[in-house]
Structure 1
C-alpha cells in the first residue's frame, strides 16, 4: 500500500469514528425527544430488537421491543402527564469499529399524572451500542438513578 493510500485509509477511519461518535450521542437526544414528545416510533427507533433496558429499582428490566413498549406505554407514560429530559456529559469509548460504550448524565422533571406535583430525577445512562448494517442503536442501557424526588407545590406551567 502506498503512503497516500495509507494516509487516506487512516483519514477515512478517523472520519468514520467522528460520524459514529455523533450518531451515538444523537441516540441520547432521540431518547429524550421521543420520550418527552410521546413519539413512541421515534423512541423505539434507538433500540435494537434484542435490547435490554435496565431501569433499575423501582421499575426493573425490560427486554426487546415488547419490553420497551411495556415500560413506556404501561409503566412510565401513565405515571407522568409530561416530562422534560436533559442529557449531558456524553462520553463514547469504542470497543471496535461497530461497538462502543456511551455514558451520559440525565436530569428529568415530570408532572405526576392528574396532579400538580412534579418530580425531579437525576440519573446516569450507561449504554452498550452496536452498529449493524451501518446503523447505530442501543443494545443495552443500564440506568443508575441518583435521586427521584417530589418537588411539592411546584406545578409545571407555561410561561405567562
Structure 2
C-alpha cells in the first residue's frame, strides 16, 4: 500500500501493521520449521497451491505434498541447518497481497559433521486468504555454498 497515512483510515493502517506481524511470523516459521525439523510448523506457512522454487538443481516444489517432500530432500543433504534471516521487506500490492524479500545466511551441517555456509535471498509472495496470511511463492536465490569445513559444533545445553 503506497498511499499516504492521511489517505488511509485508522483501520486500514492497523490492518497493515497486523499483516506485517503475520508476515514476519511466516519468515520465522520457515526458519524454525526447517531448523528444528518441525514439519507441522514448516507446512503451516504455505497455501495449498504454493510454490517453493530452489533453482540450480535443488528442486521446484509445487503444492503442499511436494513442499512437504522438500524437507525430506533437504534432510538427506543436511543433517542440521541454522538459518539467520535479515533485511526483510514487505511491499503491499493491496490489503491481501504483498511481495517480500529477505536475505539469509545458513550454517548447514553435512552428515559427516562438516559444515557449509550458504548465502541467499528469498523472494516471496504472501497472500491473505480466508483471513490468513501464508506464502503463495518463495523463490530462493542462492549466492554461494561454501566447501565443507571442519568446525567444532558444541553440544546442546
TM-score, reference length from structure 1? 0.89
Residues 6-36 of structure 1: CA distance to partner in whole angstroms, max 9, x if unpaired?
Answer: x9x7001000001101111211111000100
In structure 1, the gaps of 5 or more residues are 1-6
Q: Which residue of 2 aligns with 1:63?
A: 62
C-alpha distance in structure 1 between counterparts of 2:119 and 2:35, whole Å: 16
Where 1:77 maps in the other structure, the secondary structure is helix
Task: Check if 1:104 corresponds to 2:136.
Answer: no
- Structure 1 outlier segments of 4+, above 2 Å: 155-160
Q: Which among 83, 86, 89 is matched to residue 91 of structure 1?
A: 89
Q: Which residue of 2 aligns with 1:4?
A: none
Where 1:28 maps in the other structure, the secondary structure is helix
Whether contact under 8 Å (1:24, 1:102) holds in the other structure is no
TM-score, reference length from structure 2? 0.91
Q: CA deviation at 1:151?
A: 4.1
Q: CA deviation at 1:156?
A: 2.3
Paired residues, what number?
Answer: 151
Task: Check if 1:133 corresponds to 2:150.
Answer: no
Q: Which residue of 1 aligns with 2:27?
A: 28
Whether contact under 8 Å (1:95, 1:101) holds in the other structure is yes
Residues 20-64 of structure 1: CA distance to partner in whole angstroms, max 9, x if unpaired?
Answer: 011112111110001000000100000001001111113021100
Calculate the aligned-residue CA RMSD, in Å.
1.6
Whether contact under 8 Å (1:118, 1:154) holds in the other structure is yes
Bigger CA radius of gyration: 1
Q: CA deviation at 1:159?
A: 7.5
Residue correspondence of structure 1 range 112-123 to structure 2 within 5 A: 112-113=110-111, 115-123=112-120
